[in-house]
Amino acid sequence: MRILTVISIAMIMFSCNINLKAPDLLNEDNGIGKYYVNLVIDSMINKYGASNQDKITKGVTQVAELWQEGDGKLEDFKKFCLTNFYNDVQEFELLFYKISNNYEVLNGYFNKISIELKKPLHLDMGDIGDIDELFGSYEPSSHLTEDFFVNKLAFIVMLNFPHYSLAEKAEKGKTWTSKQWAYARIGDIYTSRVPSDLLQNYSNKTTLADTYISEYNIYMGNLINSDNKTFFPSELKLISHWGLRDELKSNYNVENGFEKQKMIYAVMKNIISQEIPESVINSKEYLWNPSENKVFKTDGTEIHFQTEANVRYQHIIEVFNAQQKIDKYNPLEPSYIQRKFDGEMELRQDEVEKLFVDYISSPTIKEVAELIKLRLGRNLEPFDIWYDGFKSRSSINEEELNKIVSAKYPNKEAFEKDLPSILVKLGFQADKADFITSKVVVDASRGAGHAWGSEMKDDKSRLRTRVGEKGMDYKGYNIAVHEFGHNVEQTISLHDVDFYSLRGVPNTAFTEALAFVFQERDLELLNIENKDTNKKHLMALDNFWSTYEIMGVSLVDQKVWKWLYEHPKANAEELKVAVNTIAIEIWNKYYADVFGVKDQPILAIYSHMIDAPLYLSAYPIGLLIQFQLEKHFETHDFATEVQRIYKTGRLIPQLWMKTAVGSEISAQPMIEAATEAVKVVGSGKME
């Protein structure tokens, strides 16, 4: 149809002896030619007036780009645009509210269905069966976009609420009202036309990857050294990477802590290299010496074993392949990297990378590292990237913390019941605390834990953390407080925003920031008073060092995805080599001089790389935001400001930050605070 149209126009031009070029096409496979688009735009401006020129031009052009042959002929396209443009102010406002209300219904119930179907995968409900994975990987909304293009509803939205690029939002958004931002966010709903089978395929692959990670546990009591000695309780089961990392962090300044840390690091390296014995994953049948990578029966007999066979990296390949199939249906953002950064995070990838590289190249890094060496009384090991000694709780015996927590929260119901008092302790009014917590449900998690927000006001957000048979331990509590921070954000940014389409925050880094803020107060919420007069400086050092660690991890994640796009036919073995190479390269460039040891793959251990690709950048950005928020809270009431800031809604990141604390996202405040903290803490001065 399109070819015939171009030929017809060309013949008319020839017969009239007009020397004009044939119209260009908006995209290679579909779309309406630019020449005809301009004719329709002119017709609409004549009908609706020049005051609507910009909106008409943008809306018609964007509809044309995704219009397919099955949607109608050229005259159908013209008729659609002329009859479905809402020029009357009152009619336009009614359209806005109807779209908002109906999308809350759709998003809300689709989200609720996903939560319910994934319960056996996410919650501690016994063994996972094949039927659970089939239901859990089903994406109920996968056909929604396709259906709404077929019935033209998507085109009505695009025509009346055109999409603005990130650059346009940055410029125009400075003067937009809250309602204008709400209009713009409706314009973000349809920027691509991805077939439903590809969306469902991606859901399948990520669900399988998530289940793989959720079931990836190491029985720590089965780990032995060369003397056949174990250092961990027999019942201790830790998920990779979160549980392993947190256990490593908890073993500073404890008996046999250094030996335990070296053993955990050996486990991590075997996971990264995929030399880990398959028989020790989520199994306590055998004893394992991770340093020598030897497996034994419980009677001490060594046995031969099969390694995991690159399962970790095959999941990454599967997720990449699923996204690559989606690429060609996204004309504005034709790669997952662009969609994740420009589209979802609304921060350019190159800007994020530069921010991270500048930070981890800071001279202050070495100053903090020297302070850590002094406090440890030894040279740094690669796993000291997770040094936890700046936290006040690191001086408190974790066994005692476990007793306190398990007595207070013997089950998930006890923690859920205590949520209102937690908010009251943080300064929230009782009625607001009751309202927020009435919208939160606590579940015992199969994995490390997560928060899952609601998409409609009639539903509740979910708080998931690990709760053992003996009750919640300190690690589970610490994660739960973090996740509760997410739930508070999720509730405020849904219920208190001006308009539904503005719900949420600019990107996941902003919800991570509040989760970190809550997590920082976990001991305070247990009524454990921190009398350290250097608390402010220790917090600055802790945040600084944590940010240094996670920025390196995120850079690995970013470079791995760039490598995948450069090598789209790579297999799991090739990817494994590439990931290890990239992790070692980044280590050698930004970490080796600091730690005094080269060629370490530690930055490749994070499980997010498997089931949540390119999510890791949210953490360091979240830490920077957290630090700026904490500085703001020093001179402003905490609860009042949390409510004011998080009801702003989903502006773009830099405008949100300026509204929140008066300045854009920056690493400089954290670097300056760490530089000052090194001088104070390093000199032994007290304030």
Domain assignment of residue 611, yes or no: yes
Mean pLDDT calculated for residue range 397-403: 87
Residues in the chain: 687
Choosing from 67, 85, 103, the residue where a domain stops is: 85
- Bridge partners, residue 217, by sequence: 239
Instruction: Output 325 or 449, whichever has higher pLDDT.
Output: 325
CB within 8 Å of 490: residues ≥ 6 apart: 451, 453, 454, 461, 511
Domain assignment of residue 594, yes or no: yes
What local confidence, expressed as pLDDT, does residue 20 receive? 29
Mean pLDDT calculated for residue range 269-286: 97
Has residue 675 got a pLDDT over 90? yes
Domain limits for position 486: 397-525
Q: Are residues 416 and 485 in the same domain?
A: yes
- Kindly state the tokens that stand for 513: 């920031």
Instruction: Count the domains in the chain.
Output: 4
Domain assignment of residue 155, yes or no: no
What local confidence, expressed as pLDDT, does residue 425 receive? 97
What local confidence, expressed as pLDDT, does residue 395 receive? 58
439-483 pLDDT, tens digit per residue, is: 999 998 887 788 999 999 999 999 998 888 889 999 889 999 999
Q: Are residues 499 and 545 in the same domain?
A: no
Q: Are residues 354 and 407 in the same domain?
A: no
- Bridge partners, residue 443, by sequence: 464
Q: Are residues 426 and 401 in the same domain?
A: yes
333-391 pLDDT, tens digit per residue, is: 999 999 999 999 999 999 999 999 999 999 999 999 999 999 999 999 999 999 998 97
Instruction: Output 373 or 126, whichever has higher pLDDT.
Output: 373
70-104 pLDDT, tens digit per residue, is: 999 999 999 999 999 999 999 999 999 999 999 99
Question: Does the bond joining 486 to the residue before it have cis omega, within 30 degrees of 0?
Answer: no
What local confidence, expressed as pLDDT, does residue 123 receive? 85
Stated pTM of the model: 0.83
CA distance 80 to 148: 15
Q: Are residues 300 and 223 in the same domain?
A: yes
Q: Are residues 494 and 430 in the same domain?
A: yes
Average pLDDT, the chain: 91
Q: Are residues 245 and 275 in the same domain?
A: yes
Q: Are residues 405 and 508 in the same domain?
A: yes
Q: 125, 462 in Cβ contact below 8 A?
A: no
What local confidence, expressed as pLDDT, does residue 445 receive? 85
Domain assignment of residue 625, yes or no: yes
CA distance 69 to 574: 41
Has residue 30 got a pLDDT over 60? no
CA distance 489 to 221: 38
Domain assignment of residue 112, yes or no: no
559-591 pLDDT, tens digit per residue, is: 999 999 999 999 999 999 999 999 999 999 999
Has residue 549 got a pLDDT over 70? yes
Choosing from 525, 554, 576, the residue where a domain stops is: 525
What local confidence, expressed as pLDDT, does residue 293 receive? 98
Mean pLDDT calculated for residue range 242-252: 94
623-666 pLDDT, tens digit per residue, is: 999 999 999 999 999 999 999 999 999 999 999 999 999 999 99
- Return contacts of 245-248, CB within 8 angstroms, 24+ apart: 245/386, 245/605, 246/475, 246/478, 247/220, 247/475, 248/383, 248/386
Instruction: Output 310 or 686, whichever has higher pLDDT.
Output: 310
Domain assignment of residue 355, yes or no: yes
Q: Are residues 224 and 305 in the same domain?
A: yes
Mean pLDDT calculated for residue range 659-674: 95
583-593 pLDDT, tens digit per residue, is: 999 999 999 99
Q: Which DSSP string corresponds to 155-194?
A: HHHHHHS----HHHHHHHTTS--HHHHHHHHHTTS-S---
Q: Are residues 39 and 76 in the same domain?
A: yes
Least confident among 34-38, 269-273, 275-279, 322-326: 34-38
What is the enclosing helix (H) or strand (E) of 288?
A: strand 287-289
Has residue 488 got a pLDDT over 50? yes
- Closest listed residue to residue 526, CA positions, set 401, 410, 639, 442: 401
What local confidence, expressed as pLDDT, does residue 607 receive? 97
Has residue 239 got a pLDDT over 80? yes
Q: How far is CA 350 from CA 346, 347, 556, in A?
A: 12, 9, 14
Q: Are residues 458 and 555 in the same domain?
A: no
Domain assignment of residue 182, yes or no: no
What local confidence, expressed as pLDDT, does residue 684 receive? 54
Share of the chain above pLDDT 90, in %: 82
Q: How far is CA 160 from CA 56, 92, 254, in A?
A: 8, 8, 63
Choosing from 477, 497, 525, the residue where a domain stops is: 525
Domain assignment of residue 57, yes or no: yes
Q: 491, 459 in Cβ contact below 8 A?
A: no
Q: Are residues 380 and 407 in the same domain?
A: no
Has residue 231 got a pLDDT over 90? yes
